[in-house]
């Protein structure tokens, strides 16, 4: 409850940013009986609900519906057709969903926490003893910075002069474009590129290395094959030379295998990463260190290099996922004002790329495991060996597991499958429980499920699962 005798601008904790991280920190502290100033930074709700996870995933599902009808012929005797009949109506439905969730999961929550005072009076700046906002001093002995991030703009000559989009403005287009060039092969780029291609747009992806460069190379190669089969053009290992405008269109000049090429499209879509929102916060003046991207450096306790100031979410040098932002913010609040001594732990953190097939993983890649000094063994299972995939007549994908050869303990894995996102948590729990490949392979799994592929992949370390009868393992 609020203390009516307390000074109006005096709080136990100030939280800058009202997205998933900011709300997580504020709610955690409020549940501990503290008084919190939750200071708005951008639209309430932050990236995920407004311009990130929610709008992109509903549009991706819509594109999957189109593709699902068009690919019905994989079953003998079926034929299906689908296309975008009203792009504007699809975008409007997306906007309605965003507005509904923003209201329900953010705005409507505030009255339920008496300890939280929401302030949205202009840009916030860190000062001695608290935060300054709109010329007003908010006094708080502890502060959590959770200002999030935004799409990064690549340093390519000519880019400011050509028609460009980012992951936000792409989903706000009033008309479906005829052609797009996506810069970057990270998870945002591949998700949105496949979605737009399925909507009927001619799509080219250009990237400096390969698709999803931080994951297993077998998966990167398999995903590129899937996307090319759907008609996307993928140019990897390119150098971005320059961009220029040609009438209403964008021209990107790249070098591929030593050859200079001009690529033309309605827009360039800038999906080359994200930048932290740190401008104007006064970080340098407060002695808060940042990395080369400008992200705030935090320790495992989520503390910055300035005592009393913590940070969480996309503004930091930690994992750029909404659930990890909320998790880190909860730790920050507990450590800042609730006497906690908790440490950030992402050893069993699952991640998902919402392409189709989905790509999901947890733990170490093979290369990371070797770098960490493990004697590594791996198993690689094509979906042709998973009964669920055969029954669905969709064997696009694979499963790779990484383990310590000496102890047999699982170290990590990745699932590329149409239902991989809903299967990876089983692998995350296996890693959290320090399971061995033998234990996972002997665990009972339901038949004709995608997650059964994990059992088969674990058995692949020691046997040829193609020689097993159904459920015999």
Q: 202 with 176: CB under 8 angstroms?
A: no
> Would residue 86 be called left, alpha or beta, if left means φ above 0 and alpha means ψ between -120 and 50 degrees?
beta
Cis bond before residue 357 (omega within 30° of 0): yes
Q: How far is CA 452 from CA 417, 420, 427, 446, in A?
A: 12, 11, 11, 7
For 371, phi then psi, to 5°, come to: -60, -35
Q: 47 with 23: CB under 8 angstroms?
A: no
Q: Whole-angstrom Cα distance, residue 414 to residue 352?
A: 10
Q: In what order do the strands lie in the sheet with 124-127?
A: 124-127, 130-133, 136-139
Q: 26 with 17: CB under 8 angstroms?
A: no
Q: Whole-angstrom Cα distance, residue 54 to residue 34?
A: 31
Residue written as tokens 């093979």?
366
Residues near 221 by beta carbon (within 8 Å), at least 6 away in sequence: 210
Structure tokens of 269? 């879509």
Kindly give the interhelix angle for 187-199 and 53-70, rounded to the nearest 10 degrees. Answer: 40
Q: Which residues are annotated as a binding site for NAD(+)?
A: 184-191, 273
Structure tokens of 355? 């392409």
Q: Which residues are annotated as a binding site for FAD?
A: 57, 314
Residue written as tokens 């929550």?
109
Q: Work out the angle at residue 371's Cα, subtended by the Cα atoms of residues 432 and 215, and round it to the nearest 5 degrees.
A: 65
Q: Which residues are annotated as a binding site?
A: 57, 184-191, 273, 314
Secondary structure class of 274 (helix, strand, coil): strand
DSSP state, residue 390:
H
Q: How far is CA 142 from CA 11, 18, 285, 463, in A?
A: 9, 17, 17, 56
Where do the H-state alpha helices sit in 12-86?
Answer: 20-31, 46-51, 53-70
Pairing outcome for strands 267-270 and 164-165: parallel
Closest CA to 359 of 414, 320, 401, 319: 414
Q: How far is CA 215 from CA 1, 146, 350, in A?
A: 47, 27, 13
Q: Whole-angstrom Cα distance, residue 22 to residue 40?
A: 9
> Would residue 208 be called left, alpha or beta, if left means φ above 0 and alpha means ψ between -120 and 50 degrees?
alpha
């Amino acid at each position: 409850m609020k203390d009516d005798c307390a000074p109006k601008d005096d709080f136990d904790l100030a939280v800058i940013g009202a997205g998933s991280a900011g709300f997580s920190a504020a709610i955690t502290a409020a549940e501990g009986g503290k008084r919190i100033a939750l200071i708005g930074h951008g639209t309430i709700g932050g990236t995920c609900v407004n311009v990130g996870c929610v709008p992109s995933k509903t549009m991706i599902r819509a594109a999957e519906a189109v593709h699902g009808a068009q690919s019905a012929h994989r079953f003998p005797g079926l034929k299906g057709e689908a296309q975008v009949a009203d792009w504007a109506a699809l975008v409007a439905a997306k906007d309605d969903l965003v507005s509904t969730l923003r209201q329900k999961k953010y705005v409507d929550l505030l009255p339920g926490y008496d300890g939280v005072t929401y302030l949205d009076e202009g840009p916030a700046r860190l000062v001695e003893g608290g935060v300054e906002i709109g010329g007003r001093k908010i006094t708080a002995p502890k502060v959590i910075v959770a200002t999030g991030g935004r799409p990064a703009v690549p340093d390519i000559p000519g880019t400011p002069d050509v028609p460009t989009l980012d992951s936000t403005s792409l989903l706000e287009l009033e008309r479906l474009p005829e052609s797009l060039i996506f810069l970057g092969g990270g998870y945002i780029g591949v998700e949105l590129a496949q979605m737009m291609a399925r909507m009927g747009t001619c799509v080219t992806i250009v990237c400096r290395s390969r698709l999803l460069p931080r994951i297993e190379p077998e998966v990167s190669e398999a995903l590129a094959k899937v996307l090319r089969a759907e008609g996307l053009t993928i140019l990897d290992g390119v150098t971005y030379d320059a961009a220029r405008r040609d009438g209403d269109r964008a021209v990107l000049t790249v070098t591929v295998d030593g050859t200079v090429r001009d690529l033309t499209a309605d827009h360039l879509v800038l999906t080359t990463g994200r930048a932290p929102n740190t401008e104007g916060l006064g970080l340098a003046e407060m002695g808060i260190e940042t990395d080369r991207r400008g992200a705030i450096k935090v320790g495992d306790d989520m503390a910055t290099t300035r005592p009393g100031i913590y940070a969480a979410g996309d503004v930091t040098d930690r994992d750029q996922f909404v659930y990890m932002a909320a998790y880190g913010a909860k730790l920050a609040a507990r450590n800042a004002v609730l006497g906690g001594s908790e440490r950030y732990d992402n050893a069993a953190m699952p991640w998902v790329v919402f392409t189709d097939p989905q790509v999901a993983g947890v733990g170490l890649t093979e290369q990371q495991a070797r770098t960490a000094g493990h004697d590594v063994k791996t198993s690689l299972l094509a979906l042709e060996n998973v009964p669920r995939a055969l029954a669905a007549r969709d064997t696009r994908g694979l499963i790779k597991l990484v383990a310590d050869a000496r102890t047999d303990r699982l170290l990590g894995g990745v699932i590329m499958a149409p239902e991989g996102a809903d299967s990876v948590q089983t692998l995350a729990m296996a890693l959290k429980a320090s399971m061995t490949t033998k234990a996972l392979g002997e665990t009972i799994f339901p038949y004709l499920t995608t997650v059964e592929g994990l059992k088969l992949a674990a058995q692949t370390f020691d046997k040829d699962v193609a020689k097993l009868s159904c459920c015999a393992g």
